[in-house]
């Protein structure tokens, strides 16, 4: 259950019960009341304007202003428009969207309907990771309840506005979490990312204007429309308003999903709210926002707040909100090996720098771990990572490079020790074995 930091403000979340996913309890909390108010009293353009004024940013990793993305869609273009909620959530260490799908699916549905009204969308999609069996059942059951109550479908609440929401299950490809690959997958094609321009808001699903937002991003919309843009902007930081769901895992005493206000103390979250490290171990470093973000050491995060304006100058990003805490004694060579194995496996193979570069990185790290590393290997890995950066259609090549460069920049001595001795400097350490 999401728990805010002790000084944080609860915005989206509420105490979870065994029935918090059901329509009756959702309506008792006031959900769908905002939808009724919006449909009865507001024009679509006014909804977009209010979301833009709130300063809401994407919660999927890119942090693009939501209102700005919506404002590109023209109402008078004579074309059908589409809305897609990205529930693929394949970034390792990230599971906060899954919490929404399992525990508060009606919050997402109401917010999607308000968003669809703003964008004049008749058919909206939730693209869900194929492995999310439990979240799929919860969301589909919630949709069935909403359809039966006349909250989704034809002539919603007698307003004249109609919208269907379709849950589309992917086949488990990490790359399909990228917006254009997601669209290609829904169209029934191989999930390859697309070159841009044109932007997806101009030519997206079925070559029509399409808006794609992350699940958490959309889940904020109903709250914004109920309480107003000014109330949302009063929470968090000037350039990053609102709260953020953080999923934290790794060697942490109390893993889970936490709702924090932007600007909250990182040290306080780790050591107070999450109970510090397992068995009293010391914190070594943190992967801030999914494995695609560069690691930050314990000393670095002690000085930082959970605010993009502080995290980005430190050389990393809050990314997808998937935080991994790593204890002292963990071998970073083995950790990078696991990460590169994942990236190599998940590359779609469309772009040569990614397809070949991932393979090279994986083979080099495997050779180092096998005791056959060479002194030139580390510089070779850095070169491959830099050559991938900006040379692939989607950001996956960049992401693997960020992970590699970030770890080598701060823990190169561990790699040099392994190359020189043929073994980890933490040989025999439990965490060294766990990370393999």
Tokens standing for residue 52:
């833009």
pLDDT in tens, 217-253: 999 999 999 999 999 999 999 999 999 999 999 999 9
Q: Do 253 and 119 belong together in one domain?
A: no
pLDDT in tens, 182-222: 999 999 999 999 998 999 999 999 999 999 999 999 999 99
CB-CB contact of 295 with 283 (8 Å): no
Does 7 reside within a domain? no
Does 8 reside within a domain? no
C-alpha to C-alpha distance for 141 and 106, rounded to whole angstroms: 10
CB-CB contact of 403 with 291 (8 Å): yes
Beta bridge partners of 124: 83, 165
Q: What is the pLDDT of residue 411?
A: 97
Does 422 reside within a domain? yes
| Torsion sign across C-alpha atoms 164, 169, 175, 177 | positive
CB-CB contact of 303 with 274 (8 Å): no
Q: Do 200 and 91 belong together in one domain?
A: yes
Q: Do 191 and 130 belong together in one domain?
A: yes
Q: Do 225 and 287 belong together in one domain?
A: no
Q: How confident is the model at residue 382 (pLDDT cuts 50, 70, 90)?
A: very high
Q: Classify residue 311 by burial, with Cβ atoms within 10 Å: 0-12, 13-18, 19+.
A: buried
Nearest of 402, 392, 386, 383 to residue 348 by alpha carbon = 392
Q: Do 71 and 219 belong together in one domain?
A: yes
CB-CB contact of 90 with 51 (8 Å): no
For the cut 60, the answer to whether the pLDDT of residue 19 exceeds it is: yes
Cβ count within 10 A of residue 366: 15
Tokens standing for residue 240:
């990053």
Mean pLDDT confidence for 169-178:
92
State which residues form the domain around 308.
241-326
Give the HSE-up count for residue 90: Cα atoms under 13 Å, Cβ half-sphere: 24
Mean pLDDT confidence for 103-131:
97
Q: Do 290 and 360 belong together in one domain?
A: no
CB-CB contact of 138 with 146 (8 Å): no
Q: Do 213 and 259 belong together in one domain?
A: no
DSSP per residue, 31-94: TTHHHHHHHHH--HHHHHHHHHHHT-B-SSSS--BHHHHHHTS-TTS-S-EEEEEEE---STT-
C-alpha to C-alpha distance for 116 and 282, rounded to whole angstroms: 47
Ramachandran region, residue 135 (left: φ > 0; alpha: ψ -120 to 50; beta: rest):
alpha
Number of domains in the chain: 3
CATH number for the domain spanning 93: value is: 3.40.50.11540
C-alpha to C-alpha distance for 306 and 246, rounded to whole angstroms: 10
Does 414 reside within a domain? yes
Q: What is the pLDDT of residue 7?
A: 39
Q: Do 275 and 395 belong together in one domain?
A: no
Residues in the chain, overall count: 436
Tokens standing for residue 237:
């930081």
Query: 219 to each of 115, 239, 245, how far by Cα in Å?
Result: 10, 20, 11
CATH number for the domain spanning 271: value is: 3.10.20.600
Does 115 reside within a domain? yes
CB-CB contact of 310 with 295 (8 Å): no
Q: What is the pLDDT of residue 339?
A: 96
CB-CB contact of 100 with 77 (8 Å): no
For the cut 70, the answer to whether the pLDDT of residue 169 exceeds it is: yes
Q: Of 202, 233, 264, which closes a domain?
A: 233
Mean pLDDT confidence for 271-276:
95
Does 208 reside within a domain? yes
Q: What is the pLDDT of residue 363?
A: 97
pLDDT in tens, 41-86: 999 999 999 999 999 999 988 889 999 999 999 998 999 999 999 9
Mean pLDDT confidence for 12-18:
67
> How much is the mean pLDDT over the chain?
92
Mean pLDDT confidence for 122-135:
96
For the cut 60, the answer to whether the pLDDT of residue 297 exceeds it is: yes
Q: Do 101 and 201 belong together in one domain?
A: yes
Model-level pTM? 0.93
Three-class secondary structure of residue 251 per DSSP: coil
Q: DSSP E strands: which ranges in 228-374?
A: 236-237, 240-241, 243-250, 256-261, 283-287, 296-297, 322-327
Q: Of 273, 296, 326, which closes a domain?
A: 326
Q: What is the pLDDT of residue 436?
A: 45
Q: Of 276, 308, 326, which closes a domain?
A: 326
CATH number for the domain spanning 360: value is: 1.20.1440.230
Does 13 reside within a domain? no
Q: Do 114 and 51 belong together in one domain?
A: yes
Q: Do 115 and 252 belong together in one domain?
A: no
Q: Do 174 and 149 belong together in one domain?
A: yes
Does 11 reside within a domain? no
């Amino acid at each position: 259950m999401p728990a805010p930091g002790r000084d944080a403000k609860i915005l989206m979340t509420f105490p979870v019960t065994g029935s918090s996913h059901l329509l009756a309890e959702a309506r008792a909390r006031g959900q769908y009341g905002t939808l009724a108010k919006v449909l009865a009293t507001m024009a679509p353009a006014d909804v977009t304007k209010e979301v833009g004024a709130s300063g809401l940013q994407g919660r999927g990793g890119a942090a693009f202003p939501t209102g700005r993305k919506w404002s590109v869609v023209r109402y008078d273009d004579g074309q059908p428009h589409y809305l897609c909620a990205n529930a693929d959530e394949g970034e390792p260490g990230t599971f906060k969207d899954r919490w929404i799908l399992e525990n508060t699916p009606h919050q997402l549905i109401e917010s999607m309907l308000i968003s669809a009204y703003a964008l004049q969308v008749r058919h909206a999609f939730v693209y869900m990771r194929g492995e999310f069996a439990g979240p799929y059942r919860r969301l589909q059951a919630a949709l069935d309840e909403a359809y039966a109550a006349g909250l989704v479908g034809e002539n919603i609440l007698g307003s004249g506005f109609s919208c269907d929401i379709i849950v589309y299950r992917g086949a488990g490809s990490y790359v399909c979490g990228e917006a254009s690959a997601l669209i290609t997958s829904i169209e029934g094609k191989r999930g390859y990312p697309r070159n841009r321009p044109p932007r997806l808001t101009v030519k997206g699903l079925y070559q029509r204007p399409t808006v794609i937002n992350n699940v958490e991003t959309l889940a904020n919309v109903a709250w914004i429309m109920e309480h107003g843009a000014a109330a949302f902007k009063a929470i968090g930081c000037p350039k990053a308003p609102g709260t953020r769901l953080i999923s934290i895992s790794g060697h942490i005493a109390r893993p889970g999903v936490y709702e924090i206000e932007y600007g909250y103390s990182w040290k306080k979250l780790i050591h107070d709210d999450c109970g510090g490290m397992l068995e009293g171990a010391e914190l070594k470093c943190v992967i801030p926002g999914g494995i695609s973000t560069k690691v930050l050491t314990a000393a670095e995060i002690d000085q930082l707040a959970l605010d993009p304006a502080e995290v980005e100058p430190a050389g990393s990003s809050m990314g997808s909100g998937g935080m991994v805490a790593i204890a002292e004694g963990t071998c970073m060579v083995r950790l990078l090996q696991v990460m590169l194995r994942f990236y190599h496996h998940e590359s779609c193979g469309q772009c040569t720098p990614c397809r070949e570069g991932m393979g090279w990185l994986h083979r080099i790290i495997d050779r180092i771990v096998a005791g056959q590393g060479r002194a030139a290997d580390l510089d070779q890995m850095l070169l491959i990572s830099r050559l991938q950066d900006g040379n692939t259609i989607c950001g996956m090549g960049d992401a693997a490079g960020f992970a590699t460069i970030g770890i080598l920049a701060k823990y190169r001595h561990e790699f040099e020790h392994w190359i020189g001795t043929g073994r980890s400097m933490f040989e025999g350490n439990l965490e060294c074995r766990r990370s393999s």
